[in-house]
Structure 1
Amino acid sequence: MIDAISEARRDGALRLTARTDGQVTSSEAVQLPIMAPRLQADLAPDGYLKLALWGSGTLATLRFTGWAGPYVYAPNRVMAVGGGACVAQSVPAMVLRNARLRSLVPATRSAWWSDPAPRKPIGHAGDRRIAETGWGVVIVETRGDDLVVAVGVDAAEAESGLLLSSEAIVAEADAYVARCDRLPEGDPELRSMVSQGIHAALSSIRRNERGAFAGLAAGQAYSAPARTYYRDGYWTHQALLAICPDVLRDQIDILASGLQPDGEAPSGVILTGPAQSVAWERVRASHSIIKEEHLRPGDWWSDHFDSPLFFVLTVGDYVRTTGDTEPLARHLSRIRAIYRRYLGFAAADGLPLKPRHDRDWADNVYRGGYVAYDLGLWIGALDVIARYCPAFDAELAAAAARSAASARASLEKALLQASGWFADYREKDGFVEDHLTLDSLTLLRFDAVSEARAVEVLDHVARRLESRSNHEQPYGDWGVMCAFPPFKRRSDTRAKTAFAYRYHNGSDWPYLSGLYAGERLRRGLAGWRYPLTRWWRTCLENGWMGAVEYFSPPFGRGSLLQGWSSMPAAVALAHRARVLAGDEEAGP
């Protein structure tokens, strides 16, 4: 992986090429991640398909004859010489055109943590081959030269996927590609980035077997156990606000179900189907370490410091976009509890002190005390309460306004460094991790600092976190680092983040790069295109099809088709006119 990435950057070669129509082409077969409301899969167009189902997990592996390149990739679709794959939206089915079945093998586990199950023999019914696992069903039907593949939690749901003709499935796939293509005036790089970003956001909208909303998925890799996150959902819904804001109403209710009476919330809320719920609860109850992290059956990693604040921010975005205050009124008691909870963490200066643990977005980092990222969320949440709650609880709204003013007045003393940026965190014992981080830009997003200070911070970000400008890091021009320099104390990090330039220790996270680009755009500053698109160019260079979770040169990438990596697309569309006019910056 290291050599491949380095070589691609060194010679400027692209494994994938963005086309003028917003699609992406390649002479070689690369992995296409697939997510529809129920069905999800990994497809290699030269003949491999791994199938899964939201709420149930992995179902089966299918091998087929495949197609020759060149390949043209689009959201949930790939076309090739003499064939291709198209995914339906209304039913959990897809069609493999001009393909013959070679093998169908049922999964023996729904997830890595589940107990193995005996593999059942493949069923035969005319032109159908049927794989049953105990937690889901796959049916492959031969239709002339095509294979139609349908999945379901049971035979009835899978059979519903076979009701569409091959042509109807293709039509739904084509309509979905068109729906994702929301910046047709953009150049190939911009247009394809937006298309794939909108796909990541729209495909995060999951459904259960009855068609009801079943949460915003963090990404394709988060179906076992199926769960929806407070923070991932917040950044993902930025791209959905202008397309389908009504989805947030149901998402708010799901997130509310994970809140405790004292305002605590987990990282995410588990939304598994019946079979997987039983399997997960058995694992949770029998493994002490897992049970220590997941305290309640519906919790995915209990007690995350940022989650309750994201709940308030999500409610605020919904009310601001739709004008509908009913969810706010219905969940007002929860918002009160969240406000009281953070007042309990607050020091005399009004800034909540995070306990020293690894439970916010940087979940490989033990940081505590004043944490810039969390304080930005706190001030943003206070502004939501102050702005939208007066009609329902005037006393609460006034108190939140006072708390916001106090917090803003205290920020610089708590975290501003002589360098001109805000420290990552300052512990209660006085230790300061003073490196510059992209997640500290929550302070800018929620207007916690003055405009002059914001512009100064953004200038430091351009010079220190954009890899093209930072010659202290050894990997050249590859993206925007989430932190630099690496963490001072090894004891503050664990797992992947213990390595410099990996994960929270300096990788490019497109959602944060999008946050950064947005802060430049809304202030009229040049230099926004690099953070908006450099991550996507890296994906094209390396053959990563879809909105990647994170990456760095020494360690490769995280998951594909990540919901919150739609942030750059959301930012591009929010600032459409400026983006289409072009970046005034001449170059690095």
Structure 2
Amino acid sequence: MRVFPQPDGALRIEDPDAHVLYDMGNPRLFVRFDGRGHALHLLLADGFYAGAWELDLTVDQQAFRFREGRAIGRRWTLEGASDGLEVRLSSFISEEAPGVFQVLTVRSRGDRKQGIGLRIHLRFTLPTSWRDRWRSALAQRIPRWIAQPRWWSEGWAKGLLPPAPERVQIFPGGWIRGDGRVPLRWVSSIAPGEIRARGREVDLRWDLPISPGETVRLAWGMVAGSTENPTAEIETAHEAALRYEEWLSRLHRWEDPLLQSLFVAGLNTAIAMYKSLPDGFAGLVAGPDYAYPPRLYFRDGYWTAQALLFFRPEWVRRHLLSIARGIGENGACPSGVFAPHLLHPEGPMPGGLPDWLPDHLDAPAFLVLLVHDYLRVTEDWQVLEERVPSLHTGRERPLWAAARSALMYLISRDSNGDGLVEKPDAPNDWADNVRRGTWVTYDQALYVAALRAGCMIARALREERLAEHLASRAWEAQRALNTILWDPARGHYVNYRRPNYVEDHFSIDTLVTLLYGLAEREQAHRILAAARSLQTRYNPKQPYGDWGVMSVFPLYRNRRDLFGRSAHPYRYHNGADWPYWDGVYGWLLLQREDPDWKYVLTRWWSYSLENGWLTPVEYYSPPYPRGGLLQGWSAMPAAALLWGKERICPPHLLALGGGAWE
């Protein structure tokens, strides 16, 4: 198996197999296909598992294998040839509706009649182990007023997603209906010659003769919800997928196919994160592995939004109004917010409190920063007056009031007035497998940036007293950042410091100090010089050769601060490559015309393609399993390319002046 980026941004795959995966998403679903054409799972955005299917294709009773694949946007195409037959299987999804489809096209170039056999095994049952079933049954019995334990959400789709259909019915013509809380319809353009049902599993079989010069076309797929003509939806979805593919390809062009494919894949990933959920809740999920039970993230959503602000600002607006519902009365914010329909007694899934991982110290800052960035791009000041009902109390307040409370909460975390926010020795920021505290450069820099952003908004609204207060706090916090957390001997900010201990290695997340312009020019020069040690090509002290950009180096010294995946050297937060941080780092280099920018922005992508990962990965390192695919915040390298290509000033760096900002 080999992957080749194409000039239009598509990926061409030689000899795809079952290990090659391609994920797609639209506002109503995620779906995954493999290199044999199997639909491995169909996951509905509001929290249901809607099935999977496997297919066996034969030519004259001999198994057929696809020899080439093409991946771009919402379309996955497999092709091959056998004994004069040209075979193509196109897999695609609807633009907005919860529909997943495939079209098989066979063209005869031979001189004899041949037989095409197709068998599809359709499953509406969850592929769970006894442990998954036990865990799911236990979760259903946890009282709704008790906060759910971490494993409840870490079971992800398999153990905790209820299947959409409760029973399956077969109708004349071969179409199938799954009855349950979400109705499902399976349709095909040609009725199967044979159909057998066993509970919620169905076998369908077609035997199609093809004569010399003839073309046979067979389409099928699944649609969730009520629809009058699901067969017509197949053609509509295919046309939309082609238009979307063309838009992605032509939006921006790079001469280097690697850069072109990175941009196309990244922007497509960010677009795939937007989900429309019940109760008017909508916004940016983190990725397929972090969307079930469905929830929106403050942190992941901020980075994902950077690639969307100039293309889908209305989605960012809806995301802001949705996540703001999870802000506590005191301004504290969780890592993520569960979709409200999960919390209702009549809802489809076991409920709990709205917080997913409560009180994350970086979340309030990201909320305020995203409000600021959105206003910079759109000048939509009306959004600040939109009333947001709290998921905790039901009381409504304007978005700006909720954002102010988040700022006040951050200020309250400076318990002794020294300008530094005190973080508990807990895993409550992006490094959620590391107990970082008491003073963390990353969190402190976000605090300063959020104070500055809030100050700009307050001044634009003529709230002078608040603006002065935030400006004063920002000055004190930045002075403390450069006094307590800057290491002049090493030439960079330390990762974190607590009384009697300092983790003084270089951590890639300290680059937010440069992203938000918090370091002096000479400091910035020294920081970027120190950051070169993270590039594995320049670092012979790490044992795995040239594989990307490490998140920290040297590794963490205090093993008592580590747990879970980060307890292993070079894994997760303890040295893995995180493409979203590569986007931040690469942008800083690109902005300064440093030739290292291309390596930093692309090595993760070329490494991914070498391993057959066709959509942006969450994190990786050579000796361990990769993170999730189609990961939202891993669109950051595409955002960096966009800013550099069009010389667009990123929202967080736009200068004052114009409109309400004067």
TM-score by structure 1 length? 0.88
Query: Could you tell me how far apart the structure 2 residues matched to 1:239 and 1:430 are?
Result: 41
Amino acid at match of 2:551: C
SS at match of 1:184: coil
Contact 1:114 1:283 in 2 (8 A): no
Q: Where does residue 585 of structure 2 map in the other structure?
A: 516
Task: Report the Cα distance in structure 2 between the residues aligned to 1:123 and 1:275, rounded to whole angstroms.
Answer: 31
* Alignment match, 1:487: 556
2:491 is matched with which residue: 413, 420, 445? 420
Partner residue of 2:31 out of 19, 34, 41: 41
Instruction: Describe the shift of the 1:402–1:209 C-alpha distance in structure 2 as closer, same or farther (beyond 3 A).
Output: closer
Distance between the aligned counterparts of 2:343 and 2:229, measured in 1? 21
> C-alpha displacement at 1:78, in angstroms?
1.4
User: Compared with structure 1, are the counterparts of its residues 276 and 517 closer, same or farther at alpha carbon in structure 2 (3 Å cutoff)?
Assistant: farther
Report the equivalent of 1:104.
Answer: 122
- Is 1:454 aligned with 2:441? no
CA contact 1:201–1:239 (8 Å) conserved in 2: yes
CA 1:208–1:410 in structure 2 vs 1: closer, same or farther (change >3 Å)?
closer
Question: Would you say the 8 A contact 2:419–2:479 is kept in 1?
Answer: no
Of stretches 58-67 and 446-455 in structure 1, the one that deviates more from structure 2 is: 58-67
> Could you tell me how far apart the structure 1 residues matched to 2:174 and 2:448 are?
57
For 1:168-183, list aligned pairs within 5 A.
168-181=236-249, 182-183=251-252
Output the CA distance in 2 between the equivalents of 1:161 and 1:395: 60
Residue 387 (structure 1) aligned with residue 456 (structure 2): yes
Q: How do residues 4-15 of structure 1 correspond to structure 2 at under 5 angstroms?
A: 15=2
- Residues 209-238 of structure 1: CA deviation (Å, up to 9, x unaligned): 79x662211112223110110000000000
Following superposition, the deviation at residue 163 of structure 1 comes to 5.8
Please tell me whether residue 526 in structure 1 is matched to residue 595 in structure 2.
yes
Whether the 8 Å contact between 1:106 and 1:131 is mirrored in structure 2 is: no
With over 3 angstroms needed to count, the CA separation of the structure-2 counterparts of 1:546 and 1:393, relative to structure 1, is same
Q: Distance in 1 between matches of 2:445 and 2:157?
A: 36
1:180-219 map, 5 Å: 180-181=248-249, 182-208=251-277, 214-219=282-287
CA gap 1:91/1:499 in 2 versus in 1, 3 angstroms: same
Q: Which amino acid aligns with 1:17?
A: F
Consecutive unaligned residues in structure 1, runs of 5 or more: 1-13, 285-296, 580-588
The residue correspondences of 1:228-307 to structure 2 (distance < 5 A) are 228-271=296-339, 273=341, 282=350, 284=352, 297-307=353-363
CA shift in 2, pair 1:115/1:345, >3 Å: closer
Tell me what 1:582 maps to.
none
- What CA deviation, in whole Å up to 9, does each residue of 1:381-436 have, x standing for no partner? 01111112122421111111111111222222211122111111001x23101111
Which AA in structure 1 matches 2:368?
V
Give a deviation string over 1:428-473, Cα, whole Å, max 9, x none.
x2310111111111111111111221121011111x1001101100
* Distance in 1, Cα, partners of 2:335 & 2:425: 16
Equivalence for 1:571: 640
Aligned pair in 2 of structure 1 residues 106, 406: CA closer, same or farther (>3 Å)?
same
The residue type equivalent to 1:355 in the other structure is: P
Structure with greater proportional strand content: 2
Partner of 1:25: 12
Aligned partners of 1:426 and 1:432 also within 8 Å: yes
Provide the rounded CA distance (Å) in 2 between the counterparts of 1:480 and 1:115.
Answer: 35
The residue type equivalent to 1:180 in the other structure is L
TM-fit CA distance, 1:336: 2.6
| Offset at residue 334 of structure 1 (A) | 2.1
Q: Please list, as runs of the form range in 1=range in 2, the aligned pairs for 1:309-320 lying within 5 A after superposition.
A: 309-320=365-376
The one-letter code matched in structure 1 to 2:411 is: L
Given residue 434 of structure 1, which amino acid in structure 2 is its aligned partner? D
Return the alpha-carbon distance in structure 1 between the equivalents of residues 481 and 228 of structure 2: 56
Deviations 1:351-384 (CA, angstroms, capped at 9, x unpaired): 2111111111111010111101111111110111
Question: Aligned runs of 1:549-588 on 2, under 5 Å?
Answer: 549-576=618-645
Q: 1:452 to 1:328 in 2, by over 3 A?
A: farther
CA distance in 2, matches of 1:276, 1:57: 16
Distance 2:506 2:602 in 1: 21
**Counterpart in the other structure of 1:151:** 223
**Contact 2:48–2:163 (CA<8 Å) still a contact in 1?**
no
Alignment of 1:439-478 (within 5 A): 439-462=509-532, 464-478=533-547
* Deviates further, 519-528 or 297-306: 519-528
Aligned residues: percent identity? 32
Deviation at 1:18, TM superposition (A): 0.7
Q: Secondary structure at the match of 2:50?
A: strand
Instruction: Tell me if 1:124 matches 2:115.
Output: no
508-517 or 167-176: which moved more? 167-176
Secondary structure of the equivalent of 1:545?
coil
Counterparts in 2 of 1:166 and 1:57: CA distance versus 1, 3 Å: closer
Q: Which amino acid aligns with 1:457?
A: I
CA-atom RMSD, angstroms? 2.4
- Structure 2 SS opposite 1:327: helix
Q: 1:514: Cα distance to partner? A: 0.3
CA contact (8 A) 1:232 1:564 kept: yes
In the alignment, is the contact (CA less than 8 A) between 2:342 and 2:348 conserved in 1? no
* Residues 151 and 299 of structure 1: CA distance in aligned 2, closer, same or farther (over 3 Å): farther
Deviation sequence 1:490-514 (CA, Å, 0-9, x none): 1101100000110001111100000
Per-residue Cα deviation, 1:20-70 (whole angstroms, up to 9, x for no partner): 221111121311112111122111141421211111232212112366121
Return closer, same or farther for 1:161/1:311 CA change in 2, 3 Å cut-off: farther
Can you list the C-alpha shifts for 1:269-327, whole angstroms capped at 9, x where unaligned? 1116569986787475xxxxxxxxxxxx2111111111111110010001111112222
Higher Rg of the two aligned structures: 2
1:92 partnered with 2:98 = yes
| Mean CA deviation greater in 135-144 or 76-85 | 135-144
Deviations 1:191-219 (A, max 9, x none): 00000000110111112379x66221111
What is the alpha-carbon distance in structure 2 between the residues aligned to residue 472 and residue 131 of structure 1? 59
Distance of aligned partners of 1:402 and 1:523 in 2 relative to their CA distance in 1, 3 Å threshold: farther
Is the CA contact 1:130–1:137 (under 8 Å) kept in the aligned structure 2?
Answer: no
SS of 1:26's equivalent?
strand
Match of 1:11 in 2: none
Which residue in 2 is equivalent to 1:288? none
Contact 2:103-2:218 within 8 A present in 1 as well: yes
1:73 maps to 71
Amino acid in structure 2 at the alignment position of 1:169: A
Instruction: State the distance in 2 between where 1:161 and 1:516 align.
Output: 49
Indicate the SS of the match to 1:313.
helix
Deviation at 1:135, TM superposition (A): 4.5
What letter matches 2:338 in structure 1? I
Do the aligned residues in 2 keep the contact of 1:436 with 1:485 (CA within 8 Å)? yes
Conservation of the 8 A alpha-carbon contact between 1:151 and 1:161: no
Matched, 1:344 2:412: yes
8 Å contact kept, 1:138–1:149: no
- SS class of match (1:91): coil
**CA–CA separation in structure 2 for the residues paired with 1:331 and 1:119:** 38
Tell me the distance in 1 between the aligned counterparts of 2:335 and 2:38. Answer: 34
> Could you tell me which residue of structure 1 aligns to residue 379 of structure 2?
323
- 1:271–1:146 Cα change, 3 Å: farther
Unpaired runs of 5+ residues, structure 2, are: 58-64, 80-86, 106-117, 129-155, 191-216, 386-397, 649-662
